[in-house]
Amino acid sequence: MPKAESAELQQFRSEVANWLQENRPPLPDFPLPQSFTEVGNNDQFEYLRDWQQKVYEAGYLGMAWPAEYGGGGKPQEYQDIVNQEMVKARTPLMVNAVGLSWAGPTILTHGTEEQKKKYIRPILSAEEIWCQGFSEPDHGSDLGNVQTKAVKDESTDEYVLNGRKIWTTLGEQAKHMILLARTNPDAPNKYAGLSFFLAPMNVDGVEVLPIKKITHEYGFNETVFTNARIQADSLMGKEGEGWFIAMTVLTFERGVTGGQAGGNLMEIKNVNDVYEVAKGLFRDGRPALDDPSLRSQLIDLFITERAHRLHNKRMDHAPLLVPERAAGMGLFNKLVMSEDRHKLAEFAVRMQGNAAALYADDTDAVAGGLWQHARLAAFAGSIGGGTTEVQRNIIAERVLGLPKSR
Amino acid sequence: MNFSEAPLRIDCSEELGMLTDAATSYLRDNSSVERARELAETETGFDSEQWQALAEMGWLGLATPEEFGGSGLGYPELAKVTELMGRYLFSSPFFATTLASQALIASNNEDAKMQWLPEISSGAAIATLALMEPHNSWEIGDVRATAEATATGFKLTGEKQFVIDGQNAHLVIASALFNGNPALFLLDADHLGQIEQRAESLTHHARRSTRFTLDGLELPKSAKLADGADAQKILGHVSSLAWLLLAADSAGTANGAIDLTAEYTRVRKQFGKYIGSYQAISHPLVESAILVEDTLSLVYHAASIFDGSLKGESEIAARMAKTRSEEAVNLAGARAIQSHGGMGFTWECHAHLYFKRGQWNSLSFGDAIHQRRHLADLML
Ligand SMILES: Cc1cc2nc3c(=O)[nH]c(=O)nc-3n(C[C@H](O)[C@H](O)[C@H](O)COP(=O)(O)OP(=O)(O)OC[C@H]3O[C@@H](n4cnc5c(N)ncnc54)[C@H](O)[C@@H]3O)c2cc1C
């Protein structure tokens, strides 16, 4: 039988729900991003940063992180409840996503006492925004091949950075970057030459150049390092441990393991949202939902959504898992979630008929053009954080035991 | 109703954990692919010693109340055993017999329960349902056969098709219209002796089913299991359980196909590389695994909330599982054949066994097109 929630947790749940209702910020007069990767201007950023700060101050973020670094020191169940209630209440998202979900847990795992003391609290309070400097113009999926150089200057106890990182989400707002750079070009293999840095962004020689996205918005950047000098203690772990630490980051980023601070990182639209829109639509002079083909497609979306909502519940029960795949179930998350978003948005656009041609800023657009935007934004999920193709490679190799594709 | 936020649950009892271990080892040890192939060539399609073994393990009355000689377990347990039977291509009248005993259990006919359920649980009686007819309809209760009252009982007319394990059965529960509504009749060995069953030739050659005419068959009054609302209830119960169990079997069958394919792609080389390193081979296999995981989540949810009723969550959940299972097993089965190349096209290669079992499961009791149409009417 499913574990019933204790009276204490139930009480907590209703406290959270009430707090969210009473404290959620009023809707702004500009559109809010649906994901942290879509923060395109300062108004959006400040609105979301203030909200995260408020949530943290209320004690609802990082609840399961150690209290000595600014966390709540409580069991994970509490944060899970907050996360669920946030999704349910559809409160605005947590903007410091890179800090909360990958830099933070990685620092807690591999960082020194000093690093934890210095970085964790401002991550939670959104005072210090983080970005991720992994991808480069020439090396994305092949992350192990990145070439940005970090050369130690023993005389000043600094590292000197040269190279280019790209697709840096929140790069303009960020105070720090988790940076993967090459300290030893002569290492025995491409991985062994990499090191991991907690690098400051506001130093000379770091230039952040915004890039316009297919959605017509900004939100990611190219970060150029030209003789940028950072203190030697920005290094996390030892020289040569960069790849190992980067892999930890990716398991957090892809939701393979828990340990993230919590909060909602994107506004999750569900199939029922699309259904509600569909009910008001006409195609070819008839209600869209009279069309057997659309009905059938919508049902498939409901089935997929339900299956994926159920996975977490089934994961609690070993006898209901396929033994050979049980350990690797977490590796499916990223792939499945990003592909689900594609399918949902694609249907939501297709069902509109010709009206689907109107984009988000047209006053006649169905549902404010939200789905036209979502249809494009869905690619952020299937490209960012490791592409769908790369995720399939990983599952093929690690879960199904197939030979390496490279 | 907001289906995106409907509360969902999956239950797993302690017994289910033990049963999973026991069933995995029994089926792995007793149902090799070679054994499944041998049985497919026999007339009955199953091994009667194994049938007795299932009875001894309590599987033939797995979800039958203990007062009728059953094990008194639930639908998740039934689904698990069925899933593993699919995984190991186990052939037996288990599915047919389980559905027939569930028809009895869902009825109010205590005499019939007392007479048949203990015999079924003990392995003495194999039972099945005769619901399908040549007019090719999966709609529940779309029956054309009729039963007319006579002085001593009933006289039947009409045709039955896809009577699963009809040739092996000691009891056939057949549907026929009585006073204009579907009713269910118990055909025992005596009655079955009076009709001539033709064994059907199926694409899934390991399965057994029959076609026969009911014309002229006379039954005593006691042969009526249920009519009116009772019969409707039973038909809903067995149909929705069939969706659930077929989905479970398909999930297992698809897993068998995935394992077979994965194994081959680890050893077969072309162009100097293992074929599993080609993404055109590996990625569809990943997609198959994803669809199987979907199916399993839907199956165990459906089993956890199953109550045999129509029009509510139980029906929706079972139909969803059936729908997704078809996609899973169709892809996994097809990829198994294709990924073996020319070898995959041979009778000797095991791939087609999984493909055909999956196809049979998909077609029985309503395919995905049928299920989605019903789901749309239930949900939209
Ligand atoms: C919205 C968004 C936000 C991002 N934010 C960040 C960020 O903050 N920090 C950061 O460091 N990066 C970020 N990224 C970058 C992202 O991680 C990379 O884009 C991604 O890893 C792919 O690398 P690439 O762009 O170089 O594409 P490539 O690696 O060049 O891939 C091109 C195509 O080839 C395919 N391909 C590549 N290798 C294989 C293979 N082995 N097998 C099969 N197919 C293959 C890919 O799937 C893709 O379809 C972001 C990307 C997006 C879209």
Task: Give me the residue label for tokens 């340990």.
Answer: A259
- The verdict on residue A1 lying in a domain is no
CA distances A66 to A237, B125, B222, Å, are 20, 63, 72
CB contacts, 8 Å: B5 with chain A: 88, 270, 272
A171 close to ligand 1 (CB < 6 Angstrom): no
Query: Which residue has the CA at smallest separation from atom 44 of ligand 1?
Result: A389
Same domain flag for A170 and A77: no
Same domain flag for A222 and A190: yes
pLDDT above 70 as % of chain A: 99
Q: Residue B249: name the closest of B376, B124, B363, B130 by CA.
A: B363
Same domain flag for A283 and A313: yes
Task: Give me the residue label for tokens 């828990």.
Answer: A258
Of A128, A136, A253, A267, which residue is the catalytic one? A253
Per residue in B182-220, pLDDT tens? 999 999 999 999 999 999 999 999 999 999 999 999 999
What's the CA gap between A11 and A78, in Å, rounded? 11
Residues in chain B: 380
B16 CA → ligand 1 middle, Å: 43
Q: Does A290 contact chain B (CB < 8 Å)?
A: no
- Structural domains of chain A, count: 3
Task: Give me the residue label for tokens 């994961």.
Answer: A315
Cβ neighbours around A398 below 10 Å, total? 12
pLDDT given at position B195:
94
Three-state secondary structure readout of chain B: CCCCCCCCCCCCCHHHHHHHHHHHHHHHHHCCHHHHHHHHCCCCCCCHHHHHHHHHCCHHHCCCCHHHCCCCCCHHHHHHHHHHHHHCCCCCCHHHHHHHHHHHHCCCCHHHHHHHHHHHHCCCCCEEEECCCCCCCCCCCCCCCEEEECCCEEEEECEEEEEECHHHCCEEEEEEEECCEEEEEEECHHHHHHCCCEECCCCCCCCCEEEEECCCEEEEHHHEEECHHHHHHHHHHHHHHHHHHHHHHHHHHHHHHHHHHHHHHHHCEECCEEHHHCHHHHHHHHHHHHHHHHHHHHHHHHHHHCCCCCCCHHHHHHHHHHHHHHHHHHHHHHHHHHHCHHHHHCCCCCHHHHHHHHHHHHHCCCCHHHHHHHHHHHHC
Q: What is the distance in angstroms between the Cα of A192 and the nearest Cα belonging to chain B? A: 25
Instruction: Supply A105's token pair.
Output: 């847990």
**What residues contact B145, with CB distance under 8 A and at least 6 apart?**
B133, B156, B157, B158, B159, B160, B174, B175, B176, B177, B214
Probe site for chain A from B286, B301, B316, B322 (most A CB atoms < 10 A): B286
Q: What is the distance in angstroms between the Cα of B235 and the nearest Cα belonging to chain A? A: 24
Per residue in A225-236, pLDDT tens? 999 999 999 999
Q: Residue A345: name the closest of A331, A330, A360 by CA.
A: A360
A380 close to ligand 1 (CB < 6 Angstrom): yes
CA distances B274 to A180, B262, B265, Å, are 33, 11, 6
Element (H, E) at A119: helix A113-125
Neighbour-count burial of B311, counting CB atoms closer than 10 A to its CB (0-12 exposed, 13-18 middle, 19+ buried): exposed
CB contacts, 8 Å: A396 with chain B: 276, 279, 282-283, 285-286
pLDDT at B322 over 70: yes
What's the CA gap between A343 and A387, in Å, rounded? 16
Tell the CATH topology of B3-126: Butyryl-Coa Dehydrogenase, subunit A; domain 1 (1.10.540)
**What residues contact A263, with CB distance under 8 A and at least 6 apart?**
A52, A55, A60, A61, A82, A83, A86, A93, A94, A100
Q: Do A400 and B323 touch (CB under 8 A)?
A: no
pLDDT above 70 as % of chain B: 100
Domain ranges of chain B: 3-126, 128-228, 231-379
A293 CA → ligand 1 middle, Å: 34
pLDDT at B105 over 90: yes
* Residue ending a domain, choose from A104, A128, A152: A128
A110 CA → ligand 1 middle, Å: 25
Per residue in B138-188, pLDDT tens? 999 999 999 999 999 999 999 999 999 999 999 999 999 999 999 999 999
Same domain flag for A295 and A371: yes
A157 close to ligand 1 (CB < 6 Angstrom): no
Q: Among B286, B323, B379, select the one facing A396 at the smallest CB separation.
A: B286
CA distances B308 to A46, A287, B74, B85, Å, are 54, 33, 12, 23
A391 close to ligand 1 (CB < 6 Angstrom): no
- The verdict on residue A2 lying in a domain is no
Cβ neighbours around A35 below 10 Å, total? 22
CB contacts, 8 Å: A298 with chain B: 376, 380
Q: Residue A372: name the closest of A139, A246, A215 by CA.
A: A215
Q: What DSSP letter does each residue of A159-190 carry, written as one string? A: EEEEEEEE--TTTTT-SEEEEEEES-TTSSST
Give, as one character, the DSSP assignment of residue A283.
Answer: E
* Residue ending a domain, choose from A80, A103, A128: A128
User: Strand A194-200 vs strand A235-236: parallel, antiparallel, or unpaired?
Assistant: antiparallel
CATH architecture of B231-379: Up-down Bundle (1.20)
Give, as one character, the DSSP assignment of residue A320.
Answer: G
Q: Does A272 contact chain B (CB < 8 Å)?
A: yes
Q: Which of A102, A138, A141, A394 to mutate to test the pocket of ligand 1 (most atoms within 8 A of CB)?
A: A141
CA distances B314 to A67, A147, A218, Å, are 45, 56, 47
Instruction: Supply A273's token pair.
Output: 């949202």
A103 close to ligand 1 (CB < 6 Angstrom): no
Q: Give the CATH number of the domain where residue A144 resides.
A: 2.40.110.10
- The verdict on residue A254 lying in a domain is no
* Residue ending a domain, choose from A206, A241, A276: A241
Q: Which residue of B has its CA nearest to A88?
A: B5
What's the CA gap between B160 and A108, in Å, rounded? 68
Same domain flag for A154 and A210: yes
| Nearest-10 Cα torsion for B359, B363, B365, B370 | 120
Low-confidence winner among A199-208, A214-223, B209-218 (lowest mean pLDDT): A214-223
Residues in chain A: 406
Q: Among A306, A311, A399, select the one facing B289 at the smallest CB separation.
A: A399
A37 close to ligand 1 (CB < 6 Angstrom): yes
A140 close to ligand 1 (CB < 6 Angstrom): yes
Please give the mean pLDDT across all residues of chain A: 95
CB contacts, 8 Å: B4 with chain A: 270-273, 302, 305
Q: Residue B188: name the closest of B293, B292, B104, B257 by CA.
A: B104
- Which ligand 1 atom sits nearest the alpha carbon of residue A135? 11
- The verdict on residue A252 lying in a domain is no
- The verdict on residue A88 lying in a domain is yes
Same domain flag for A295 and A387: yes
Same domain flag for A395 and A276: yes
Name the CATH superfamily housing domain B128-228.
Answer: Butyryl-CoA Dehydrogenase, subunit A, domain 2 (2.40.110.10)
Task: Give me the residue label for tokens 């949902």.
Answer: A344
pLDDT given at position A2:
46
pLDDT given at position A3:
58
A387 CA → ligand 1 middle, Å: 6
Q: Does A398 contact chain B (CB < 8 Å)?
A: no
- Which ligand 1 atom sits nearest the alpha carbon of residue A386? 21
A384 CA → ligand 1 middle, Å: 6
pLDDT given at position B323:
98
A149 CA → ligand 1 middle, Å: 20
Instruction: Supply B343's token pair.
Output: 């070898």
- A253 belongs to the catalytic site: yes
Q: Give the CATH number of the domain where residue A316 resides.
A: 1.20.140.10
Per residue in A350-378, pLDDT tens? 999 999 999 988 999 999 999 999 999 99
N- to C-terminal Cα separation, chain A: 44
Q: Which of A34, A37, A136, A167 to mutate to test the pocket of ligand 1 (most atoms within 8 A of CB)?
A: A167
Per residue in A120-156, pLDDT tens? 999 999 999 999 999 999 999 999 999 999 999 999 9
Give how far the C-alpha of residue A45 lies from the chain's centroid of Cα atoms, to the nearest Å. Answer: 16
Helix, coil or strand: residue A274: helix
Helix, coil or strand: residue A25: coil
Helices (H), A262-399: 271-279, 292-315, 323-326, 332-350, 370-383, 388-398
- Which ligand 1 atom sits nearest the alpha carbon of residue A213? 1
Confidence of residue B56 (pLDDT cuts 50, 70, 90): very high
Per residue in A297-322, pLDDT tens? 999 999 999 999 999 999 999 999 99
Q: Do B293 and A310 touch (CB under 8 A)?
A: no
- The verdict on residue A261 lying in a domain is no
Per residue in A236-291, pLDDT tens? 999 999 999 999 999 999 888 888 999 988 888 999 999 999 999 999 999 999 99
pLDDT given at position B307:
97
Q: Give the CATH number of the domain where residue A40 resides.
A: 1.10.540.10
Orientation angle between helical segments B313-339 and B368-379, nearest 10 degrees: 150
Q: What is the mean pLDDT of residues A214-222?
A: 91
Instruction: Supply A247's token pair.
Output: 């892999």
A386 close to ligand 1 (CB < 6 Angstrom): yes
Please give the mean pLDDT across all residues of chain B: 97
Orientation angle between helical segments B75-87 and B94-105, nearest 10 degrees: 170
Q: What is the mean pLDDT of residues A149-168?
A: 98
Per residue in A60-86, pLDDT tens? 999 999 999 999 999 999 999 999 999
Same domain flag for A274 and A395: yes
Q: Residue A99: name the closest of A228, A249, A256 by CA.
A: A249
- DSSP bridge pairs for A180: A196
Q: Where are the beta strands (DSSP E) in A232-291?
A: 235-236, 282-283, 286-287
Which structural domain range is residue A204 located in? Answer: 131-241
Confidence of residue A1 (pLDDT cuts 50, 70, 90): very low
Instruction: Supply B12's token pair.
Output: 């797993």
pLDDT given at position A265:
86
- Phi and psi at A397, nearest 5°, equal -80, -50
CA distances B241 to B36, B76, B376, Å, are 25, 11, 20
